[in-house]
Amino acid sequence: MSRPELKIVDSLRDIPAADWDALAPGNPTLAHAFLHAMHESGSAVADTGWQPNYLTLWRAGRLAGAVPLYVKGHSYGEYVFDWAWAEAYQRAGIEYYPKLLAAVPFTPATGPRLMARSDEDRAVLAQALVALARDSGLSSLHVLFPPGACVAALEAAGMMVRRGVQFHWRNAGYADFDGFLAALSHAKRKKIRQERRKVRETGVVLTRVVGADITEAQWDFFHACYKRTYRDHRSTPYLNREFFGMIHATMPGNILLVLAEHDGRPVAAALDLFSPDALYGRYWGSVAYVPGLHFEACYYQGLEFCIERGIRIFEGGAQGEHKQARGFEPVETFSCHWLRHPAFERAVEDFLRREGVGISSYLDELGERSAFKKGEKQMEPQMNADERR
């Protein structure tokens, strides 16, 4: 194997999309088109606190590995919360920002952060990433939502591991939505049927539109819903209309738009990304309140889509115990952290140890609340490429 060469790049313009995508095949959240649109649209750039600083590994002039890495000026859009750490630094008179972050902007989806084809190159990237953090003079390095193999490599390189919980749905080969419901307890099955019936009784009609079939008017409506969701939470939208137009043009085969209409007028929309293997719930918004419509548009339509297409995993996004009552099961997630300041590193290491014990107890507690019938268990499918990496 040729000797590795490491480079920092601030744009994906000069990296062929096929070479990049070969490092994380089938994961739309890490696709060249998705990340490049983040930058080219101005959504994730230095001016918004996301300065691309990608670590790349080359062998014989060809891309062999990469880390989606940013210099961050804040902690927004991450979904692994380190605000308490930043506040502790501030109280001590130490600068926490800027920091280094390996993640997909505004996207709490699992996937390889040490993007490489081999364990050897993953280890090279992990060691180089920590060395880069040490040499940068920045306060810290954080790697969010990596799978197990990446976690092992990062821990071996000297990073601390933090545990978290998300809720994912796994397809047990259901023939249809009723087949899925049949696996649930009577109470949960009844509740879901009631929720869906109430939405139908309002006269709302749901439509799933994929990729190139999404019209400009539908995109405009979705973006208005997206902005309204952030406004309702007194926050600023991360993504602009140009971003959605770019992914529509460059990766239409990975986009699912769920539209809700009443009397022929759109009232809500939800956007998902998908591959043949997984669906990732992302954004939702509405212009009118309809009881139960959020669950219908964001969960039940996505579940039906997965069942119809044989998609095996539906990642519902960050947080949300309410997802468990709708067939999503708790899944342990990870993040990895390195802090320059020795005293803070020791304090955080102690905190993570105690927090980890709490996460274990929480997972045990959630396991007792499964929506599935006793004795029923969701299929444990073979690991896909993302999970292995």
Quick check: 59 pLDDT over 60? yes
Quick check: 317 pLDDT over 90? no
- Model confidence band, residue 2 (pLDDT cutoffs 50, 70, 90): confident
Residue 214, in any domain of the structure: yes
Residue 231, in any domain of the structure: yes
Among 278, 311, 344, give the residue marking a domain's end: 311
Q: Is the dihedral of CA 266, 269, 274, 277 positive or negative?
A: negative
Preceding omega of 98 cis (within 30 degrees of 0)? yes
Are 273 and 350 part of one and the same domain? no
Residue 218 and residue 267 in contact, taking contact as beta carbons nearer than 8 Å: no
Are 201 and 90 part of one and the same domain? no
Are 69 and 200 part of one and the same domain? no
Quick check: 377 pLDDT over 70? no
Are 296 and 236 part of one and the same domain? yes
Residue 42, in any domain of the structure: yes
Residue pLDDT, tens place only, 282-307? 899 999 999 999 999 999 999 999 99
pLDDT of residue 381: 42
Pairing status of strand 313-315 against strand 278-286? parallel
Say what percent of the chain tops pLDDT 90: 91
Average pLDDT, integer, range 361-387: 71
Cα distance from N-terminal residue to C-terminal residue, the chain: 20
Q: By residue range, what is the domain housing residue 91?
A: 4-167+330-388
pLDDT of residue 346: 96
pLDDT of residue 163: 97
Pairing status of strand 329-339 against strand 313-315? unpaired
Residue 142, in any domain of the structure: yes
Are 142 and 221 part of one and the same domain? no
Residue 333 and residue 167 in contact, taking contact as beta carbons nearer than 8 Å: no
Please report, as a single letter, which amino acid is at residue 15.
Answer: I
Average pLDDT, integer, range 141-161: 97
Residue 264, in any domain of the structure: yes
Residue pLDDT, tens place only, 96-105? 999 999 999 9
Are 139 and 195 part of one and the same domain? no
Residue 322, in any domain of the structure: no
Are 201 and 103 part of one and the same domain? no
Quick check: 375 pLDDT over 70? no
Among 277, 311, 345, give the residue marking a domain's end: 311
- At 36 the three-state DSSP class reads helix
Are 119 and 266 part of one and the same domain? no
Q: Can you tell me the distance from the alpha carbon of 37 to that of 31, in angstroms, rounded to the nearest whole number? A: 10
Are 297 and 336 part of one and the same domain? no
Per-chain mean pLDDT for the chain: 94
Quick check: 58 pLDDT over 70? yes
Which letter, b or e, does each residue of 88-98 get, where b requires 16 or more Cβ atoms within 10 Å of its Cβ? Answer: bbeeeeeebbb
pLDDT of residue 320: 82
pLDDT of residue 379: 47
Question: What is the tally of structural domains in the chain?
Answer: 2
Residue 316, in any domain of the structure: no
Are 183 and 79 part of one and the same domain? no
pLDDT of residue 378: 52
Residue 354 CB burial class (10 angstroms; 0-12, 13-18, ≥19): exposed
Q: Report the 10 Å Cβ neighbour count for 336.
A: 25
pLDDT of residue 334: 98
Are 343 and 302 part of one and the same domain? no
Q: Residue 43's domain is classified under what CATH number? A: 3.40.630.30
- Model confidence band, residue 383 (pLDDT cutoffs 50, 70, 90): very low
Quick check: 382 pLDDT over 50? no
Residue 321, in any domain of the structure: no
Are 18 and 87 part of one and the same domain? yes
Quick check: 79 pLDDT over 80? yes
Average pLDDT, integer, range 46-51: 97
pLDDT of residue 380: 45
Lowest mean pLDDT among 10-19, 227-236, 301-310, 375-384: 375-384
pLDDT of residue 139: 98
Q: Can you tell me the distance from the alpha carbon of 314 to that of 168, in angstroms, rounded to the nearest whole number? A: 6
Q: What is the pTM of this model?
A: 0.94
Among 311, 342, 365, give the residue marking a domain's end: 311
